[in-house]
Amino acid sequence: HMMQQWPRCVRFKLCRKKHELCLLLFALAFALVLISYHYFLRVRVPRWKSTFPIGRRGSSQYVTKFPLQRDQFHIDPNTTEHKVILLWTEFFGSRTWYTNENTFNNCPVKACSVTTDKKRVKDAHAVVMNVRDFSTPSDLPPSHPPWQVWILHGSEPPYYVWQDLRRYNNVFNWTSWYRTDADIFSPYGKYVTRVLSLSLSL
Ligand SMILES: *[C@@H]1O[C@H](CO)[C@@H](O)[C@H](O)[C@H]1NC(C)=O
Ligand SMILES: *[C@@H]1O[C@H](CO)[C@@H](O)[C@H](O)[C@H]1NC(C)=O
Protein backbone atom coordinates (compact mmCIF):
# COMPACT_ATOMS: atom_id res chain seq x y z
CA HIS A 1 0.00 0.00 0.00
CA MET A 2 1.04 3.64 -0.46
CA MET A 3 1.88 5.87 2.47
CA GLN A 4 1.76 9.63 2.31
CA GLN A 5 5.37 10.48 2.91
CA TRP A 6 7.94 13.00 1.79
CA PRO A 7 10.64 11.64 -0.43
CA ARG A 8 13.96 11.15 1.32
CA CYS A 9 15.77 13.80 -0.68
CA VAL A 10 13.25 16.51 0.23
CA ARG A 11 13.51 15.76 3.92
CA PHE A 12 17.27 15.76 3.75
CA LYS A 13 17.32 19.06 1.87
CA LEU A 14 14.99 20.70 4.35
CA CYS A 15 17.17 19.58 7.20
CA ARG A 16 20.34 20.79 5.59
CA LYS A 17 18.80 24.14 4.85
CA LYS A 18 17.51 24.65 8.35
CA HIS A 19 20.49 23.17 10.07
CA GLU A 20 21.95 26.47 11.22
CA LEU A 21 18.59 27.87 12.20
CA CYS A 22 17.86 24.76 14.25
CA LEU A 23 21.18 25.09 16.02
CA LEU A 24 20.54 28.74 16.77
CA LEU A 25 17.05 28.01 18.09
CA PHE A 26 18.40 25.23 20.23
CA ALA A 27 21.10 27.51 21.65
CA LEU A 28 18.51 30.22 22.36
CA ALA A 29 16.19 27.76 24.06
CA PHE A 30 19.07 26.48 26.17
CA ALA A 31 20.08 30.01 27.15
CA LEU A 32 16.46 30.78 28.03
CA VAL A 33 16.25 27.72 30.26
CA LEU A 34 19.49 28.70 32.02
CA ILE A 35 18.36 32.30 32.51
CA SER A 36 14.94 31.28 33.80
CA TYR A 37 16.51 28.81 36.18
CA HIS A 38 18.80 31.49 37.51
CA TYR A 39 16.16 34.17 37.93
CA PHE A 40 13.09 32.23 38.88
CA LEU A 41 14.56 29.48 40.99
CA ARG A 42 17.97 30.49 42.26
CA VAL A 43 17.58 34.19 42.80
CA ARG A 44 14.00 35.42 42.90
CA VAL A 45 10.46 34.35 42.43
CA PRO A 46 8.58 36.59 39.96
CA ARG A 47 8.59 40.31 40.59
CA TRP A 48 4.83 40.74 40.47
CA LYS A 49 4.59 39.05 43.84
CA SER A 50 6.53 41.88 45.46
CA THR A 51 3.91 44.49 44.55
CA PHE A 52 1.50 43.40 47.29
CA PRO A 53 1.29 46.30 49.75
CA ILE A 54 1.46 45.65 53.47
CA GLY A 55 -1.95 44.44 54.62
CA ARG A 56 -3.05 42.83 51.37
CA ARG A 57 -1.85 39.48 52.40
CA GLY A 58 -1.37 38.64 56.05
CA SER A 59 -0.21 35.10 56.30
CA SER A 60 -1.17 32.79 59.10
CA GLN A 61 1.17 30.25 57.61
CA TYR A 62 4.21 31.61 59.39
CA VAL A 63 4.41 31.22 63.11
CA THR A 64 7.02 33.21 64.95
CA LYS A 65 7.87 32.31 68.51
CA PHE A 66 9.75 35.02 70.30
CA PRO A 67 12.16 33.49 72.76
CA LEU A 68 10.81 35.19 75.86
CA GLN A 69 12.04 32.40 78.09
CA ARG A 70 15.63 32.86 77.09
CA ASP A 71 17.64 34.80 79.57
CA GLN A 72 20.03 36.39 77.13
CA PHE A 73 17.38 38.72 75.70
CA HIS A 74 16.09 40.24 78.96
CA ILE A 75 12.82 41.26 77.32
CA ASP A 76 10.54 43.41 79.41
CA PRO A 77 7.09 43.14 77.79
CA ASN A 78 6.14 46.51 79.24
CA THR A 79 9.02 48.33 77.65
CA THR A 80 8.17 51.55 75.86
CA GLU A 81 11.56 51.69 74.22
CA HIS A 82 10.77 51.75 70.53
CA LYS A 83 12.64 49.24 68.38
CA VAL A 84 12.89 49.41 64.60
CA ILE A 85 13.23 46.20 62.62
CA LEU A 86 14.43 46.61 59.05
CA LEU A 87 13.63 43.96 56.47
CA TRP A 88 16.75 44.32 54.35
CA THR A 89 16.12 41.61 51.77
CA GLU A 90 12.94 40.46 50.17
CA PHE A 91 11.29 37.29 51.32
CA PHE A 92 10.88 35.05 48.27
CA GLY A 93 9.89 38.03 46.17
CA SER A 94 7.82 39.84 48.81
CA ARG A 95 9.28 43.16 49.88
CA THR A 96 7.05 43.08 52.96
CA TRP A 97 7.63 39.42 53.79
CA TYR A 98 3.85 38.91 53.58
CA THR A 99 3.47 40.71 56.88
CA ASN A 100 0.90 43.36 57.67
CA GLU A 101 0.14 45.84 60.43
CA ASN A 102 -0.94 42.96 62.69
CA THR A 103 2.55 41.52 62.85
CA PHE A 104 2.95 42.21 66.55
CA ASN A 105 -0.55 41.14 67.61
CA ASN A 106 0.68 37.99 69.28
CA CYS A 107 3.85 39.54 70.62
CA PRO A 108 3.82 40.66 74.26
CA VAL A 109 6.05 43.60 73.32
CA LYS A 110 4.19 46.27 71.37
CA ALA A 111 6.86 48.93 71.08
CA CYS A 112 8.26 47.70 67.77
CA SER A 113 7.86 48.66 64.15
CA VAL A 114 8.89 47.03 60.91
CA THR A 115 10.24 48.95 57.97
CA THR A 116 11.42 48.08 54.49
CA ASP A 117 13.13 51.45 54.03
CA LYS A 118 16.81 50.70 53.56
CA LYS A 119 17.71 54.31 54.30
CA ARG A 120 16.84 53.59 57.92
CA VAL A 121 19.66 51.06 58.25
CA LYS A 122 21.66 53.55 60.32
CA ASP A 123 19.08 53.61 63.12
CA ALA A 124 17.44 50.19 62.81
CA HIS A 125 17.89 48.09 65.94
CA ALA A 126 17.61 44.85 64.02
CA VAL A 127 18.20 44.07 60.35
CA VAL A 128 16.68 40.91 58.91
CA MET A 129 17.93 39.00 55.88
CA ASN A 130 16.26 36.01 54.29
CA VAL A 131 18.97 33.55 53.36
CA ARG A 132 17.38 32.84 49.98
CA ASP A 133 17.13 36.49 48.95
CA PHE A 134 20.78 37.48 48.90
CA SER A 135 23.71 35.75 47.34
CA THR A 136 26.94 37.40 48.45
CA PRO A 137 28.22 39.24 51.55
CA SER A 138 28.15 42.43 49.45
CA ASP A 139 24.33 42.21 49.30
CA LEU A 140 24.28 42.94 53.04
CA PRO A 141 24.35 46.45 54.54
CA PRO A 142 27.75 48.15 54.10
CA SER A 143 28.38 48.62 57.80
CA HIS A 144 27.41 46.80 60.96
CA PRO A 145 27.32 49.00 64.08
CA PRO A 146 28.11 46.93 67.19
CA TRP A 147 24.73 47.68 68.81
CA GLN A 148 22.77 46.50 65.74
CA VAL A 149 21.41 42.96 65.65
CA TRP A 150 21.65 41.22 62.30
CA ILE A 151 19.18 38.37 61.97
CA LEU A 152 19.55 35.57 59.44
CA HIS A 153 16.18 34.12 58.53
CA GLY A 154 15.68 30.80 56.82
CA SER A 155 12.64 28.61 56.26
CA GLU A 156 14.33 25.87 54.31
CA PRO A 157 16.51 22.89 55.16
CA PRO A 158 20.23 23.07 54.28
CA TYR A 159 19.70 21.55 50.81
CA TYR A 160 17.64 24.60 49.82
CA VAL A 161 19.85 27.25 51.38
CA TRP A 162 21.80 27.52 48.12
CA GLN A 163 24.81 29.30 49.47
CA ASP A 164 27.85 28.55 51.53
CA LEU A 165 27.08 29.91 54.97
CA ARG A 166 30.72 29.67 56.00
CA ARG A 167 31.17 32.98 54.19
CA TYR A 168 29.01 34.56 56.90
CA ASN A 169 30.82 33.35 59.99
CA ASN A 170 30.55 36.01 62.71
CA VAL A 171 28.35 38.18 60.52
CA PHE A 172 24.95 37.47 62.03
CA ASN A 173 23.99 37.88 65.65
CA TRP A 174 20.74 35.94 65.77
CA THR A 175 19.08 33.23 63.72
CA SER A 176 15.42 33.09 62.84
CA TRP A 177 14.94 29.58 61.56
CA TYR A 178 12.64 26.59 61.52
CA ARG A 179 14.97 24.86 63.96
CA THR A 180 13.86 24.90 67.57
CA ASP A 181 17.35 25.93 68.64
CA ALA A 182 17.15 29.16 66.62
CA ASP A 183 17.12 32.42 68.56
CA ILE A 184 13.73 33.12 67.02
CA PHE A 185 11.89 29.90 66.26
CA SER A 186 10.00 30.46 62.98
CA PRO A 187 8.46 27.30 61.60
CA TYR A 188 5.84 27.21 58.90
CA GLY A 189 3.15 24.80 57.89
CA LYS A 190 0.77 23.06 60.25
CA TYR A 191 -1.22 19.89 60.83
CA VAL A 192 -4.98 20.16 60.40
CA THR A 193 -7.79 17.71 61.03
CA ARG A 194 -9.20 16.20 57.85
CA VAL A 195 -12.77 17.21 57.04
CA LEU A 196 -13.46 13.85 55.41
CA SER A 197 -12.02 10.72 56.86
CA LEU A 198 -9.65 8.80 54.68
CA SER A 199 -10.76 5.29 53.92
CA LEU A 200 -7.73 3.08 54.01
CA SER A 201 -7.64 -0.59 53.22
CA LEU A 202 -4.34 -1.74 54.58
C1 LIG B 1 3.67 44.60 82.83
O2 LIG B 1 2.48 45.32 83.06
C3 LIG B 1 1.40 44.52 83.52
C4 LIG B 1 0.16 45.38 83.57
O5 LIG B 1 0.43 46.62 84.15
C6 LIG B 1 1.78 43.93 84.90
O7 LIG B 1 0.74 43.15 85.38
C8 LIG B 1 3.04 43.10 84.74
O9 LIG B 1 3.47 42.62 85.98
C10 LIG B 1 4.14 43.92 84.09
N11 LIG B 1 5.25 43.02 83.80
C12 LIG B 1 6.52 43.29 84.09
C13 LIG B 1 7.53 42.26 83.72
O14 LIG B 1 6.84 44.34 84.63
C1 LIG C 1 26.71 41.39 66.26
O2 LIG C 1 27.80 40.74 65.66
C3 LIG C 1 28.85 41.62 65.27
C4 LIG C 1 29.87 40.81 64.50
O5 LIG C 1 30.23 39.64 65.19
C6 LIG C 1 29.42 42.27 66.52
O7 LIG C 1 30.44 43.15 66.16
C8 LIG C 1 28.32 43.02 67.23
O9 LIG C 1 28.79 43.56 68.43
C10 LIG C 1 27.12 42.12 67.51
N11 LIG C 1 26.03 42.96 67.96
C12 LIG C 1 25.22 42.62 68.95
C13 LIG C 1 24.18 43.61 69.30
O14 LIG C 1 25.31 41.57 69.55
Phi, psi of 36 (to 5 degrees): -65, -40
3-state secondary structure of 83: strand
Strand segments, DSSP code E, in 60-202 are: 83-87, 112-115, 126-130, 149-153, 174-177, 184-185
Measured between alpha carbons, how far is 109 from 100 in angstroms, rounded to an integer?
Answer: 16
- 110 C-alpha vs ligand 1 centroid, how far in Å? 13
Return averaged pLDDT per consecutive 10 residues of the chain, 202 residues in all: 54 59 90 82 46 38 54 69 93 86 78 92 96 95 96 90 91 91 83 79 70
- Minimal-distance CA residue to ligand 1 atom 5: 78
Ligand nearest to the CA of 78: 1
- 126 C-alpha vs ligand 2 centroid, how far in Å? 11
Ligand nearest to the CA of 110: 1
46 lines ligand 2 (CB under 6 A): no
Task: List strands edge to edge, sheet with 149-153.
Answer: 112-115, 83-87, 126-130, 149-153, 174-177, 184-185
| pTM summary value | 0.64
In this structure, the residues whose C-beta lies within 6 A of any atom of ligand 1 are 76-78
- 44 C-alpha vs ligand 2 centroid, how far in Å? 29
146 lines ligand 2 (CB under 6 A): yes
Which residue out of 74, 76, 78, 81 has the highest number of ligand 1 atoms within 8 Å of its CB and is therefore the one to mutate? 78
Phi, psi of 192 (to 5 degrees): -125, 155
Ligand nearest to the CA of 77: 1
Q: Which atom of ligand 1 is nearest to the CA of 78?
A: 1
